[in-house]
Amino acid sequence: MSEHGDRIAPLEALPAGMAVPFGGDRLTFVSPELAAAFRSGDRLVVVQDTGDLLHVPAAVAAEVDRATAAAQGAFSALSGVSDDAISTFFEGFARRIEDDQIWSRFAAANAADVGAAQARGRSTTRLIASDAMRRDMAAGLRSWRDSPAGRGRVLERIAHEGWSVEQVSAPLGAVGFVFEGRPNVFADAAGVLRTGNTVVFRIGSDALGCARVLMAEAVVPALAEAGLPQGAMSLVDSAERSAGWALFADRRLALAVARGSGPAVAQLGAIARQSGTPVSLHGTGGAWMVADEAADAGRFGEVVFHSLDRKVCNTLNVCVILKSRAAELVPVFLQALEAAGRRRRGCRLHVLEGARAFLPSSGWLDAMAEVVRAEGVVVEPRADLIPEADLALEWEWEETPEVSLAVVEDLASAIALFNRHAPRLVATLISQDPAALARFESGVEAPFTGDGFTRWVDGQYALNRPELGLSNWEGGRLFARGGVLAGDGVFTVRTRMRQVDTGLDRSRP
């Protein structure tokens, strides 16, 4: 016991108005609502960055502890499982995804989840399990089946006289994974097994019903068939948001991964960091596209259209056009936006003041449109004027493509605008000038840059590896890694020595 052990007592209650220190030099206070809800055995997570007081009921904490302990125990057992057995698991999982009877039960659960989410006014753009999702899940699992085994891979060898040193990849541990209502992420999360890790994950409440079916019908049988420990993929079976807080506060995690966007992800990251767990986070989404003086109009229109096929984090969110080409390219942009709207259901435009002069005199700022929102169809202005600060907003659309438009003086201004307001995720330049592209890519603060459509930013699509998550540069550049975290990127490095000369002695000159 420490010298202060006699001063430690269990937290039995939280009186309303109780002061709670955070951040080393600030106080926050217990609200009446938190005080009334807190019971003996519950946990309190204090977010040191913000002072948020997060209540974790005892039952939720127990479920997280069960799932995390299962993943931790499975990690130890997985060291005795062959790489071929892991490959067998991936094939078995994929085969069950393709089984029509299993998929029909999963689809029924998914339909129930979608209906419940819609009734609550929740977005379902990522929740619906389509045939394309099914194919991609199976293909992703088989890509892990066929990928090289990562355990024991020699990364570097340094030869010395009479001995040598090797840097060798080794499994990292239990990976905690929190993701929104996207059932396909199961296949992505499974990738950590390829390098000998295990995963414990909490899925958003919108998709928990179909997650339970997928675990029971596909994951658990595939693990058993391959001879892998059952906890290798462990689901936190709780619809409570507090389950994510408890999971990321668990010091047994070797890595915490959060997929999604906005303040909830930032909060999860803060919890993991203060617990000493490294994190991989995806902040705000939304891609930016810039058309410069050397842009080809036809190419520009094509890539705008193909960047708006559906709403995900790499969908075009802000389009910036240089003033010298605005009279020609703004109409091209609008035509592409309208074409994308015909493929979906209408379109919505937000216009920075400087771009207003380049809009047609009618049909946009003076028009109304039906817009599909999570809560249903609403009538809104087809276009509106926004302040510059609103370029930082990610437009979360359902079926109605929604984009911001800005016009700037030159490429340097476009780069500065991106670095000031963008989520620092995807930046693309449409230009026929290689020198301009080089200036753009060296100037923008983004891990993903290109010269075409924005939707290429995806681990499976671009790198043939299902991603655990994308990371942007909102919080600064990433240390020694790229913006795509895939399962085969989850490892630690072990250094081992091989000695030939038994007479080695450090005391010799």
pLDDT in tens, 8-37: 889 999 999 999 999 999 999 999 999 999
pLDDT at 1: 47
pLDDT at 4: 58
Token readout for 67 is 């799932």
Average pLDDT (498-508) is 91
Gap between the Cα atoms of 248 and 244, Å rounded: 6
Element (H, E) at 426: strand 426-430
Q: How confident is the model at residue 5 (pLDDT cuts 50, 70, 90)?
A: low
pLDDT at 124: 78
More confident residue, 264 or 233: 233
pTM assigned to the model:
0.86
Average pLDDT (448-473) is 89
Element (H, E) at 81: none
Q: Which of 216-225, 255-264, 323-332, 496-505 has the lowest mean pLDDT?
A: 255-264
Q: How confident is the model at residue 475 (pLDDT cuts 50, 70, 90)?
A: confident
Q: How confident is the model at residue 411 (pLDDT cuts 50, 70, 90)?
A: very high
Q: How confident is the model at residue 452 (pLDDT cuts 50, 70, 90)?
A: very high
Is the predicted pLDDT of residue 478 greater than 70, yes or no?
Answer: yes
More confident residue, 63 or 484: 63
Quick: pLDDT tens for 74-100.
999 999 999 999 999 999 999 999 999
Residues 6+ apart with CB under 8 A from 58: 39, 41, 42, 43
pLDDT at 150: 81
Strand duo 467-470 + 484-486: pairing: antiparallel
pLDDT at 2: 53
312 φ/ψ angles, rounded to the nearest 5 degrees: -140, -175
Q: Which of 3-7, 293-297, 370-374, 442-446 has the lowest mean pLDDT?
A: 3-7
Of the candidates 466, 496, 495, the one whose C-alpha atom is nearest the C-alpha of residue 140 is 466
Of the candidates 38, 54, 34, 57, the one whose C-alpha atom is nearest the C-alpha of residue 46 is 54
Token readout for 175 is 């990976």
Average pLDDT (54-60) is 97
Is the predicted pLDDT of residue 505 greater than 50, yes or no?
Answer: yes
Quick: pLDDT tens for 304-327.
999 999 999 999 999 999 999 999
Is the predicted pLDDT of residue 128 greater than 60, yes or no?
Answer: yes
Average pLDDT (189-213) is 91
Mean of pLDDT over the chain: 93
| DSSP3 helix / strand / coil % (the chain, rounded to 5) | 40, 25, 35
Average pLDDT (457-464) is 87
Average pLDDT (411-416) is 98
Is the predicted pLDDT of residue 186 greater than 90, yes or no?
Answer: no
Written in H, E and C, the secondary structure of 134-191 is: HHHHHHHHHHHHHCCCCCCCEEEEEEECCEEEEEEEECCCEEEEEECCCCCHHHHHHH
Is the predicted pLDDT of residue 3 greater than 80, yes or no?
Answer: no
Q: Which of 115-119, 379-383, 493-497 has the lowest mean pLDDT?
A: 115-119
Q: Edge-to-edge strand order for the sheet containing 154-160?
A: 154-160, 163-170, 492-499
Place of tokens 């010269």: 451
Tell me which range, 171-185, 188-202, 380-394, is most confidently predicted by mean pLDDT.
380-394
Q: Mark out the alpha helices in 344-410 (DSSP H runs).
A: none
**pLDDT above 90 covers what percent of the chain?**
77
Quick: pLDDT tens for 220-253.
999 999 999 999 999 999 999 999 999 999 999 9
pLDDT at 287: 97
pLDDT at 384: 96
